[in-house]
Amino acid sequence: MSTNPILADEKEAVIKIRGLDNRFGEQVIHQDLDLDVRRGEILGVVGGSGTGKSVLMRSIIGLQTPSEGQIDVLGENMIGREEDEAKNIRRRWGILFQNGALFSTLTVAENVEVPLREYFHFSQTLMDEIASYKIAMSGLPADAGPKFPAELSGGMIKRAGLARALALDPELLFLDEPTAGLDPISAQNFDELILSLRGKLDLTVFLITHDLDTLYAICDRVAVLADQKVVAVGTIDQLLALDHPWIQEYFNGPRGRAAAKA
């Protein structure tokens, strides 16, 4: 591991977090948290329940104003930003929420068209076509487009959420536990999908996950959240060399070892 394990070279950082504090009343979630996400990498974020993985993601994408600290995304400071300025950044990222967060009154295809409609003035035909191929790319069957979210299974909702996240061909993709609740085959397909999209679209992926197979299969680096901060970032091999009790237990538990063998 390099001399400074957490911070990357300034230039290649797509997301740069410095001194992030998040508090809810008395409860301290993050304290003095630093993290860099490099361009083109898939960064896995792991941590026990309640270590603030989702809060970290919400802080980066501006849904949660941190108590203190600085967050730069794609070279722009995100804290205290006007809504209009933030729009330029929002266009360049896509977010898959844990439960899909599809708009329940719209069909899957219409859901994918929402960001397109918001930012561009395309012909309806082009928008329908874009929605259609994004849905197919996300691994949904052709008849999923005109379905409403309530008619979909959990795995299909995730895929539809991904299709919407990819609608604008973002540079930066946030995935909150994308494979949770998927069967192993779907989860593996999902991993492969992310990998192939990353290769073709120069995506940077911020991936919150508990899925050890996903970590081994697609993550370039893994950031470990513990003790209110990022305690380590690196490849899994680098992390395994560290003497942190949680990291050892996580990767060397029976599940961790099984995933490593695969």
Which residue from 67, 137, 148 is spatially nearest to 111, judged by alpha carbons? Answer: 148
27 is a site residue for other proteins (CB under 8 A): no
148 is a site residue for other proteins (CB under 8 A): yes
CA 210 to CA 207: how far, in whole Å? 10
CA dihedral of 45, 18, 235, 203, whole degrees rounded to 10:
70
- In the complex, the smallest distance separating the C-beta of residue 245 from other proteins, rounded to whole angstroms, is 36
Tell me the number of residues near other proteins by CB under 8 A. 37
- In the complex, the smallest distance separating the C-beta of residue 256 from other proteins, rounded to whole angstroms, is 32
145 is a site residue for other proteins (CB under 8 A): yes
For the chain, the residue count is 262
What is the DSSP annotation of 173-204?
A: EEEESTTTT--HHHHHHHHHHHHHHHHHHT-E
Q: Please give the DSSP secondary-structure letter assigned to residue 94.
A: E
- Subset of 102-121 contacting other proteins (CB under 8 A): 104-105, 107, 109-110, 113, 120-121
CB of 184 closer than 8 Å to CB of 152: no
Distances (CA, A) of 71 to 18, 21, 78: 6, 11, 6
Q: Which of 132, 189, 238, 248 binds other proteins (CB under 8 A)?
A: 132
195 is a site residue for other proteins (CB under 8 A): no
Q: Please give the DSSP secondary-structure letter assigned to residue 65.
A: -
Q: Please give the DSSP secondary-structure letter assigned to residue 64.
A: S
Mask for 44-73, x = binds other proteins (CB under 8 A): ------------------------------
131 is a site residue for other proteins (CB under 8 A): yes
Q: Which of 58, 90, 134, 198 binds other proteins (CB under 8 A)?
A: 134
- Subset of 162-191 contacting other proteins (CB under 8 A): 166, 168-169
Pick 22 or 186: Cβ nearer other proteins: 186
Enumerate long-range contacts of 236-243, CB under 8 Å, 24 or more apart.
Answer: 236/260, 238/1, 238/5, 241/1
135 is a site residue for other proteins (CB under 8 A): yes
- Summarize as ranges the residues that interact with other proteins (CB under 8 A): 104-105, 107, 109-110, 113, 120-123, 126, 128-137, 142-143, 145-150, 166, 168-169, 196, 199-202
